[in-house]
Amino acid sequence: MEEYLPEDEPLLNARRRGEEIGAVPIGPAGGAALRFLATLIGARTVVEVGTGCGVSGIWMLRGMAKDAVLTSVDIEPEHQRLAKQAYREAGLGGTRTRMIIGPALEVLPRLTDGAYDMVFCDAVKQEYPQYLADALRLLRPGGVVAFDNALWHDRVADPDRRDPDTEAIREVHRMVRDDERLVPLLLPVGDGLLCAVRTA
């Protein structure tokens, strides 16, 4: 499943740089799922929480409209510098990305309500529940929210795992499943991709 859609040189380079600095990116199948979702909904405005080194951004931008803009938030300037390099290597113009450096929980409240087609979260696991609350405010009806590491190396399904990261991911699973405004789906790609469509 991971190798069904092989990654090209810009993606492989970005992946290598991410792994070298400890910003482990979404896997190839998860990236392909993000591109599929962005294409499916005709995404023009996307928020990414956790830039990494540009792997997920390249996948999503390749599914977004040609004049669409990806807003990517990360606390590490070096991550965003490497992501910009990856976007250039992938032939994605600078006008297609808006990079914001800062803690996500401080940046997200400053973004415009209902102005986004998609929100992708792959940053501090303990903050996932708060990211969902922000995503619900940011998304238009019909918009999609997605969380990487939804299986968290099989820890989420293990009741003996009680660490804060695992518990936070379990909580976001419950929140997504129980919110009547959301239509959820857990995709077993990579380390798990939890998705939901906002219906209202």
Q: What CATH number corresponds to the domain at position 102?
A: 3.40.50.150
What is the per-residue pLDDT for 4?
A: 86
Q: What is the pLDDT of residue 93?
A: 79
Q: Is residue 151 part of a domain?
A: yes
Give the domain extent around 142.
Answer: 9-198
Assess if residue 145 is contained within a domain: yes
Query: What is residue 94's predicted lDDT score, i.e. its pLDDT?
Result: 82
Give the CA radius of gyration of the chain: 15
Torsion angles phi and psi, residue 199, rounded to 5 = -90, -25
State how far the alpha carbon of 26 is from the alpha carbons of 32, 34, 96, 142, 144, in Å. 10, 10, 21, 24, 17
What's residue 170's pLDDT? 98
pLDDT at residue 79, as a whole number = 96
Model pLDDT, residue 168: 98
Residue 2 belongs to a domain: no
Host H or E run for residue 168 = helix 164-178
Residue 1, in any domain of the structure = no
Is residue 47 one of the residues assigned to a domain? Answer: yes
Q: Is residue 4 assigned to a domain?
A: no
| Predicted TM-score (pTM) above 0.85 | yes
Q: Is residue 3 part of a domain?
A: no
Q: Dump strand ranges (E) for 7-111.
A: 45-49, 69-74, 97-101
CA dihedral 131, 136, 142, 146 (to 10 degrees): 10
**pLDDT, block means (10 residues), the chain with 200 residues:** 88 96 94 98 98 97 96 97 97 93 98 98 98 98 98 95 97 98 97 96
Tell me, what's the pLDDT at 2? 81
C-beta of residue 72 within 8 angstroms of C-beta of residue 28 = no
- Helices then strands, each counted (H, E), the chain: 7, 7
Domain count, the chain: 1
